[in-house]
Amino acid sequence: MKAIPLAIPDVVLIEPQVFGDERGFFFESFNQAQFEAAVGKPVQFVQDNHSRSVKNVLRGLHYQIQHPQGKLVRVVQGEVFDVAVDLRKSSETFGQWVGEILSAENKRQLWVPEGFAHGFVVLSDTAEFLYKTTDYYAPAYERCILWYDPTLRIQWPDGIQPILSAKDAQGKGLTEAEVFA
């Protein structure tokens, strides 16, 4: 496993070592000890989620203001552009974002720690997205930041025509949103 800290160092891109031949491939998708060494702290996952979306579906930017969730995300079918936004007011990178292409082909994973908003847009015809979380889903504390917030200036891929849920369409701008201390 190769761990690559991104422009926001707490967000880590993980590239597995893939063994393949004419029969197919094998890789270790998760190893607790290696993962904790990569992110520099103990992490306990309590929930696994699996979503399927069609092209141009944009989910996010989601976070939980209480019971914040760290997320280890990956794509097992298709391709997405995945984004993490730092919402930790005390952080030097508050209000900054990082984005990466995750796909079934590249097998990359992204660690999005607690204190970040997370979202993705589907680039392929369909995509299946898996993620482990460090806390349980708590709908009463779920919040959403608008995907096109002008303060963030996220550079989403060209040509997307986002398909949003009603909840995501009503997200708040960063300047109005509840954030972490």
What digits encode the pLDDT tens for the residues 143-176?
999 999 999 999 999 999 999 999 999 999 999 9
50 is catalytic: no
At residue 74, what is the residue type?
R
The domain locations on the chain are 2-169
Catalytic residue among 50, 67, 118, 131: 131
**How far is Cα 33 from Cα 85, in angstroms, rounded to an integer?**
26
d(CA 10, CA 180): 15
Report the pLDDT value the prediction gives residue 35, as an integer from 0 to 100: 96
Greatest alpha-carbon pair distance for the chain in Å reads 53
Confidence at residue 99, expressed as pLDDT on a 0 to 100 scale = 98
Out of 50, 62, 141, 148, which one is annotated catalytic?
62
CATH homologous superfamily of 2-169: Jelly Rolls (2.60.120.10)
What is the predicted pLDDT for the residue at 109?
98
Nearest to 119 by CA among 145, 137, 96: 145
Tell me the pLDDT tens digit for each residue of 27-79.
999 999 999 999 999 999 999 999 999 999 999 999 999 999 999 999 999 99
62 classed as catalytic:
yes
